[in-house]
Amino acid sequence: MNEKPNKRAAALAGLTEEPIELGDTENASYPEETHFRHWRWHFDDSEICWLLLDKQDSSTNTLSEEVMVELRDVLTEIEEYAPQALILRSSKKNGFIAGADIDDFDGVDSSTEIVESIEAGLSVFDSLENFSVPTVSMIHGFCLGGGLELALSCHYRVARDDAAFGYPEVLLGLHPGLGGTWRTLRHMPAAEAMTMMLTGRTMSAKKARRAGLVDAVVPERHMRAAALRLISVKPDNKNPGKLAKFQTLGPVRSVLAGQMKKKTAQKVRPEHYPAPFALIDLWKKHGNDHEAMRLEESKSFGRLIAGETAQNLVRVFHLRERLKERAKETQHNVSHVHVVGAGTMGGDIAAWCAANGFLVTLEDRSSKLIGPAIGRATELFKRKLKDESKIRSAHDRLIPDTEGYGLSKADLIIEAVPEDLDIKRSVYEHVESRIKDGAMLATNTSSIQLERLSALLKAPERFVGLHFFNPVARMPLVEVVTHGALDPNERNRAMAFALAIDKLPLPVRSAPGFLVNRALTPYLLEALACYDEGIAPEVIDAAAQAFGMPMGPIELADQIGLDVCLHVARVLSMESDLAFPDVPAWFTEKVAQGEIGKKAGRGLYEYKDGKPQKKKAKTGDIPADLADRLILPLLNSTIACLRENVVEDPDTADAGIIFGTGFAPFHGGPLHYCRTRGVDNVIQSLRRLRGKHGPRFTPDKGWPLMSTF
């Protein structure tokens, strides 16, 4: 290695603050014999080694097995060159490290095998922690899961002011497994650290600094200087303070663990999602002994990852990524969105688009009709954007437009008016009189087949369905609905646009109810039939939640709106061959009286401060076949959609039902659940229910298709 001028003293004094450009290795000094695929390293003039992670064939850094093996070897090699210090950072502009490589989790069924793999990874992190000279991780963007565990293995951490830290493992049915539990507890009070791990929520750089997770938060231009100062001063950053020490005491841990379990149990059940409860037990038993916690963390992680919940949630992760990847094939070329209709759906769609960076004009007949939408937009911007300057910018992008001036300038027009063919015909005449060449027209219809709507248009080839779900800000899915006259490129543009506004685009063929409403309606109507028979609504909801649904069908109907449910049921009864129970007369009367659910303060439940007033259902009150009675019609109608080519394959159907209805993710999707349970078992159960409750439980003709996929 060539000798370089020693500028260490000046750098440590803060006199040299040149930014290190991401991916910039100009004037780097590499040993000729070093050849790594994912890691690059060089020495600067201060004899400090810069180690850069740039995972090949990937836009994002993740810690695959190959990346970890290379890190072990590169650390050994670097140490032979006796650097003054080691600074580690990512060469990817989008962030530091997103975590472990999810592909490594697929099909793992041996906890012993995974524990051995974890031990190998821990030994790599140990070698980083025990490196002979100071080590600093320099973090920008996301630093998640295994990336945070790697950062905590360094002696110090410098975060750029846009960095975000977190442990999303719980979303995959896991908890941190590469030392994250005990290494995090070295730096943060247990209550705060456990909350981060139990919820999967990210922590901003500033909050991480206050918590003790990072040592400095600075803009990019000061990151080098901050790292050099830490190397020089070598502060003691492993003393989390009196509160953290107090929370390690056995009796205190016992009390806090009990509170954590109670709070967690309000959201998920241990039999469905064991990971958070395993993490709480791990900390309760070993929170004051990091060596014991290290050992037990690996064993617990191994048991979880080999379990059905984690494997199914990994499957759900892949389903999500598949929807995203398909939407990246085409540029959407949309900068200006015009929304016609400022009701609940139209106004919220407009606000969501503005929050995600698009110029939006929102049209309705009067300012009085648009005003409530702007009010809801303000609340959305505060929740989503938080920063005052970003909130102001979003408001600037959302423009009330009673005269429809935006129509002639917009690249995409979204129609969100009532589900009435005559109203839509009038709107389309208005739109087509002003729409510019090349602009796309989309409808948010939830039930009308697009063939009927496209017949009203002069340019049906640029007409597509963009079916959002209520509430827009919370539901991740958008059904991209196609029809025979649609230009395939316009379909792809619509998919790309949905992804650009942070939604999951699901391609579906125009059919009564499309996919989600087609599958969901029999589930909701069966719940109403049970209610009509005198089964308490709390019991009906409890049966569905015991199966794993995040919300029972009675509360879900109130959430959607009983008026919407009634409309969709009527459309499906007229336009599809679905057999489901008749809508009770009392239900129709309730809608006529305006008792339409949560938005009205009263529906199947009464609401106080936005929460349903429920009695607690006892397990013994739930009839043995009630869960099947609710869930199997949903499965049966999903099979019907597959048979009718509404969706192209079972994976697409599973993704749509999970992200569009909230179907219990730990089951891996409705059709995956059928495979796990056994298709023959599902068919026989439907036949038993048919014998007891009538022909609506007749197995669909499409069930044999399951053997072909």
- Positions marked catalytic: 149, 169
Answer whether 216's CB lies under 8 Å from 159's CB.
yes
Enumerate residues 6+ apart whose C-beta is below 8 A from 176: 145, 149, 167, 169, 184, 197, 297, 301
Answer whether 156's CB lies under 8 Å from 215's CB.
yes
The CA-atom distances, in angstroms, between 258 and each of 244, 262, 284, 354 are 18, 6, 9, 43
The CA-atom distances, in angstroms, between 664 and each of 243, 503, 649, 672 are 38, 19, 19, 11
Residue 653 is encoded by which pair of tokens? 């159907």
Phi (first) and psi of residue 649, to 5 degrees = -160, 165
Query: Rounded to an integer, what distance in angstroms lies between the CA atom of residue 344 and that of residue 558?
Result: 15
Please give the single-letter amino acid code of residue 687: R
DSSP 382-447: HHHH-SHHHHHHHHHHEEE-TT-GGGGT-SEEEE---S-HHHHHHHHHHHHTTPPTT-EEEE--SS
The residue whose two tokens read 């069930």 is 703
CB < 8 Å & 24+ apart, contacts of 690-694: 692/625, 693/629
* Burial of 170 per CB tally in 10 Å (0-12, 13-18, 19+): buried
Report which secondary-structure segment, H or E, holds 588. Answer: helix 585-592
Query: Rounded to an integer, what distance in angstroms lies between the CA atom of residue 276 and that of residue 297?
Result: 13
Please give the single-letter amino acid code of residue 45: D
| Nearest alpha carbon to residue 178 among 214, 205, 152 | 152
Answer whether 28's CB lies under 8 Å from 65's CB.
no
Answer whether 363's CB lies under 8 Å from 326's CB.
no
The CA-atom distances, in angstroms, between 324 and each of 336, 355, 616, 622 are 22, 20, 40, 39
Angle, helices 275-286/290-305, rounded to nearest 10 degrees: 160
